[in-house]
Amino acid sequence: MKNEHGFKCPLNWDKLPINYRWIAIDANGEIYAYKNKPKILDDSYWINVQDFWFKGKTDPPADFKKCLWKRPKTQSE
């Protein structure tokens, strides 16, 4: 799945619990899953102090602000 900027999501949604609805990559390449939509903090990373999960690391993106994905809706939603 690609986001609005055409970037491919780094994780498979099927590997995350359904209540994790967002995935983001920070400026340093760290990947996190979030239950609630994160916001940008200090021009270097995404943050939501409640319910986040570190999922790994990748190469730092050229523009981390374009590295946010929302879980696609299921047929039951």
pLDDT, mean of residues 37-45: 90
Would you list the domain boundaries of the chain? 13-68
Residue 68, token pair as written in the block:
């946010």
pTM of the model: 0.88
H helices of 1-77, in order, are none
Dist CA 12 CA 42 (whole Å): 28
Residue 72: pLDDT above 60? yes
Which residue, chain included where needed, has tokens 């602000």? 65
Dist CA 35 CA 33 (whole Å): 7
Q: What is the pLDDT of residues 44-71, one digit of tens each?
A: 889 887 789 999 999 999 999 999 999 9
Of all residues in the chain, the percent with pLDDT exceeding 90 is: 75
